[in-house]
């Protein structure tokens, strides 16, 4: 399993990629494979404040509904509208087209506390 360089990860299987001072967030390849085919994504409203480890959005698969937790505290500055029409983008490309939310006003300290790709691989036993 390959992990994109420069990404940070959580034990709850979310990823973060920084674009300047904006955090782009999604779920990992492992998370989407465990969930199965995604059929619905409930994204937060732009402008909503989220807390680290708090529920950010919900994904539904053919197996179950699952909360997606925010890896960082911040304010939702954008959501991936394409997921409303095609939630399977998360299955097809979880680290690129399948991003979910962009957060602004994130904490550098919280970001520094997330796992590196190497640490995440260890968590998965890879």
CATH of the domain at 70: 2.40.50.100
Domain count for the chain, please give it.
Answer: 1
Residue 63 has what pLDDT? 86
Domain membership flag for residue 126: no
Residue 19 has what pLDDT? 95
Domain membership flag for residue 125: no
Helical H segments across 2-113, by residue range: 29-35, 82-85, 89-92, 108-112
Q: Tell me the whole-structure pTM to 2 decimals.
A: 0.94
The two structure tokens encoding residue 16: 């973060």
d(CA 33, CA 50): 25
- pLDDT digits over 86-102, tens only? 999 999 999 999 999 99
Domain membership flag for residue 62: yes
* pLDDT averaged over every residue in the chain: 95
Percent of the chain with pLDDT over 70: 98
């Amino acid at each position: 399993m390959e992990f994109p360089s420069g990404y940070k990860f959580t034990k709850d299987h979310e990823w973060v990629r920084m674009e300047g001072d904006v955090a782009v967030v999604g779920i990992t390849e492992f998370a989407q494979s465990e969930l199965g085919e995604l059929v619905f994504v409930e994204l937060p409203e732009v402008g909503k404040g989220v807390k680290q480890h708090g529920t950010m959005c919900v994904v539904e698969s053919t197996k179950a509904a699952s909360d997606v937790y925010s890896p960082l505290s911040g304010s939702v500055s954008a959501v991936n509208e394409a997921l409303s029409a095609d939630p399977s983008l998360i299955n097809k490309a979880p680290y690129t087209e399948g991003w979910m939310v962009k957060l602004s006003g994130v904490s550098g300290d919280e970001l520094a506390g997330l796992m590196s790709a190497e640490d995440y691989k260890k968590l998965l036993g890879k």
